[in-house]
Chains A and B, each alone.
Chain A
Amino acid sequence: MISEYKNILFKVIHLRSIIGYNSLVFSLKKTPIIGDLIPDKLYSTKFLKVIYWVFHIMVEACKLFIGKIFGLGMIYLASFLLSTQYIDHELGQGMSQSVIYGNLGLFCFLIYALCGILIRVPYFNCTTEKEYLVFMLRMDAKKLNDTLIYYDLAKLFIGYVLAGIFAVVTGAPFWLWLGIPVLALAVKFLGIGLQILSFRFKSRLHKSLKISAVAYLIRLALVLLAVPFLIVFIANGYFIPMPQMVIITGLILAAGIWGFIEFLKSDSNLHRRALHDNISKTEVKATSQYDNTKSFKKIKAKGTVKGDKKGFDYLNALFVKRHWTMLCMKPIVFTIVIAAILILLIGEFVYGYFTRFGSGNCWNMVFTNLINIVTFRGYDDALLPLGTESAFQFFRYVAQSHLLGMMIPLSIADNSFKTTQAMFINCDNSLMTFSFFKQREKIIKLFDIRLKQLLKLNIGPVIACGLSANLMLFATGGQSYPGEYLVTFLVAFLLSVMTSVTWLSLYYLFQPFTTSVIAKGGAYRVTSIIIYSVAAIIVWVPLVSYILAPVLLVVTAVYIFVMRKLVYKHAPKSWRIKA
């Protein structure tokens, strides 16, 4: 049995290597200048094929380690850093760094595994090599799928065990090291089981079970589950309750066992049908690429622009009006969610106070602190004085020195990328054929108008983030220097400006979209990755707000200046329809 799997695996890797080699030669032949120099003979050069095969094996080995280790390693790293911070500031009763590390690690992994990549198993995806082997060379579909899945699971398990060494060395409990790989396997089998179930339903009912809808429901349930954890985590600052996580883990393990049973029960016919079905889906997808633009075509015809707006101002105002839902929904939803969380936290605090000290005292506390807010002071109360324990200091430290962290929620709320897509497909794509649209002065004029518009769209999230940070500051003693509350808002605003300028400039400098709204172009991707990487590092840099704000102000001003210059210089050539 094992030797059979080994043979199949060898054939797949060999075939992948051939496909990869031929694709490489093909794309090289299509490259300008280099392509002319490459003879057709290269397709059949055995020596180079062997070199590529060795290279392919090395890539497989790298994938085995780097991908898995990196994914889980980030979770462990984050858990380690957070648990270290907690040890510095607060150690709840009965807690140790190891326990907090374990809780955080398991919590982050559950979110990562179930909301993200792990549950999506490409079990029935019909890749090129599967198509050749099953439908042309008549290989047993189940054996092929099983071989590939065992191979993937083995890679996953080994990668995770290796990543776990880092966790153990940095103080994680032993159960986390071996428990996470086992849990990952369970999640994978759950994904497999769901897919088998989907295809089994299909053959019975001649109708496919909407696996994506199921996945969305699972995610929604998990997000809802995560909310109380987060609130407890933020409000108490001690630890994430373990019993609930143990229950979820147990459920996942049980679901994983169910998936494994389904996996064993599935027969070759089902596998063949599922693969065949996925070939058809791929073909349909390839011929209906235009559907990508569908979501951008929901233009509301109602209303027009009132007032004396003219030219590009008029164009922009109409664009926003007709795309209101598309452009504003995300920042509005974000703002509402943040507002709801803040109200919940404040409500929880006030309710707690009310039950302990009665309504009279409660009203007195609320009134006094409302005045404190208006007069830019901090929380103050005789019955429930400001906490002195180090958890408070931790939150104060975050609110004063880690304001760059607001870049994360602000990026989540930011809708600039989608806005540039809508700008291209519904506006610029057509206007680019007119000469006036390619004149420098007009390009930069519209760029400025659009930048202001993006800033306006982000104002809700900026206020929400600034308010959250300021509430943290208020609850932990108020501002340390006059104007600190305003500085926090300023920092949030400047971070939002940076995000908007980046997306808009990248759009003007690389124009990556095709008429199917697909982002293409290596330069755009590489630049985005570099910017993301730099931002991911900067976000962790501690800097007190009175230094951060002026520095950020200068950097933002210089950044806008440079980007405008670049757009002015290059956009007439770079901002055009992709051939």
Chain B
Amino acid sequence: MEFVISHLVKNYGSKQVLKDVDFVFEEGRIYGLLGRNGSGKTTFFNCVNGDIDYNSGAFYFRENKDSEEKLYLQPEDIGYMVSTPTVPEFMTGREFLKFFLEVHEEITPDKTIDEYFDYMMVPEDDRDRLLKDYSHGTKNKMQMLLNIIASPKLMLLDEPLTSLDVIIAEEMKNVIRSQKKGKITIFSTHLLDVAVDLCDEIVLLHNGRLEPIDKNDLGDAAFKDKIINALRDADNDQ
């Protein structure tokens, strides 16, 4: 399965944020979407998730590159994890999970609620507390857990590790890695080290376009400078 973005354009007034995004993402891989602050990463995700309208272009799934059939995205195909986790604050973690499993009648849970919590390493004393009292990291874990349970074809992770402590960030990275099979994961970040550490592929979003970085260069010592220079050039171009 592939996720194809074809000539996607998004303008805010006279400002072109996404100029011509044209790219193919493959199943089973984690893509690091790297860009500077304000480069349009969140806008790109919001367009794909249907939260904002875009000016032109299209995106769809296809079986492989020879396949003619375009499978347009349905809401249930997407899992979106935003950088600042928002959860229904009036519920406890357990209540939220119960509700989530009940509204997803198509899902047959393979674990009990506590097993899910264990899997995500949600502390036991947090499980029956209101979500509004959760720490940023635990809210993030809850958001991730729900996306894992829903098991969408496409996972959009918008800077999910930002402002997490080292331990939780490491736990989250392991979960993301363990979940990549059978789905396309796009992970946005402005931190180069995180992208290099976690992702199978790195894609630069700059000047409103997506550009792949050769994965063979990932171990190269000069790689970092290369990306920084690329982003800097893009900035000068603008």
Contact = CB atoms under 8 A, between A and B. Distances in A.
A356 interface: no
Given A36-B14, A436-B76, A436-B104, A427 B90 contact: yes
Interface stretch (B95-103, B178-186, B217-225): B95-103
Interface string B142-170: 01001000101000000000000000000
Interface string B103-141: 110000000000000000000000001101000000000
A438 B46 CA distance: 14
A479 interface: no
Chain B interface category by residue count: 35 or more
A218 to B, nearest CB: 37
A318 B76 contact: no
Nearest to B87: A430
Contacts, number: 88
B52 A323 contact: no
Interface stretch (B64-72, B77-85, B195-203): B77-85
From A35, A301, A315, A439, residue with most partner B Cβ within 10 Å: A315
Interface stretch (A46-54, A127-135, A571-579): A571-579
A299 B131 CA distance: 11
B89 A297 contact: yes
Given A435-B79, A436-B76, A579-B46, A322 B13 contact: no
Contacts of B6: none
Contacts of A522: none
Nearest to A30: B13
Given A314-B95, A572-B75, 11 more contacts: A35-B13, A299-B130, A304-B95, A311-B99, A318-B95, A433-B82, A435-B79, A435-B150, A435-B152, A436-B104, A579-B46
A318 B51 contact: no
A569 to B, nearest CB: 15
Contacts of B102: 310-311, 314
A13 to B, nearest CB: 31
18 contacts: A30-B13, A299-B90, A304-B95, A312-B103, A314-B99, A314-B102, A315-B88, A318-B90, A319-B90, A323-B90, A426-B90, A432-B51, A435-B80, A436-B76, A439-B75, A576-B51, A579-B46, A579-B51
Interface string A304-341: 10000011101100110011000000000000000000
A336 to B, nearest CB: 26
A299 B152 contact: no
Interface of A: 29-32, 35-36, 297, 299, 301, 304, 310-312, 314-315, 318-319, 322-323, 426-427, 429-436, 438-439, 442, 572-573, 576-577, 579
Contacts of A427: 88, 90
B51 to A, nearest CB: 5
B174 interface: no
B50 interface: yes
B78 A435 contact: yes
B13 A31 contact: yes
Contacts of B175: none
B228 to A, nearest CB: 30
A432 B103 CA distance: 14
B192 interface: no
Contacts of B86: 429-430, 433
Given A299-B89, A439-B75, A434 B13 contact: no
B13 A297 contact: no
Contacts of A319: 90
Contact of B50 (A304, A323, A430, A438): A438
Nearest to B146: A434
A435 B77 contact: yes
A231 to B, nearest CB: 41
Contacts of B103: 311-312, 436, 442
B109 to A, nearest CB: 14
Contacts of A32: 11, 13
B75 A426 contact: no
Given A299-B89, A426-B88, A427-B90, A315 B99 contact: yes
Nearest to B147: A434
B91 interface: yes
Contacts of B130: 299, 301, 322
B126 to A, nearest CB: 13
Contacts of A426: 88-90
A108 B32 CA distance: 66
A427 B87 CA distance: 7
Contacts of B152: 435
Contacts of B104: 436
Nearest to A445: B103
B107 to A, nearest CB: 10
A318 B98 CA distance: 12
A436 B146 CA distance: 11
B231 to A, nearest CB: 25
Contacts of A312: 103
A434 B89 contact: no
A445 to B, nearest CB: 9
Contacts of A573: 50
A511 to B, nearest CB: 11
Contacts of A322: 90-91, 130
Nearest to A301: B130
Contacts of B82: 433
A314 B95 CA distance: 9
Given A299-B132, A426-B88, A427-B88, A577 B76 contact: no
Contacts of B132: 297, 299
Contacts of B75: 435-436, 438-439, 572
6 residue pairs, one from A and one from B, having the closest CB atoms? A430-B86, A322-B90, A435-B75, A311-B102, A438-B75, A311-B103
Given A315-B99, A318-B95, A434 B150 contact: yes
A95 to B, nearest CB: 56
Nearest to B81: A433
A430 B104 CA distance: 17
From A29, A318, A435, residue with most partner B Cβ within 10 Å: A435
From A318, A426, A429, A434, residue with most partner B Cβ within 10 Å: A434
Contacts of B49: 433
A323 B104 CA distance: 25
A435 B155 CA distance: 11
A431 B13 contact: no
B188 to A, nearest CB: 14
Interface string B30-47: 000000000000000010
A567 B80 CA distance: 24
Nearest to A313: B102
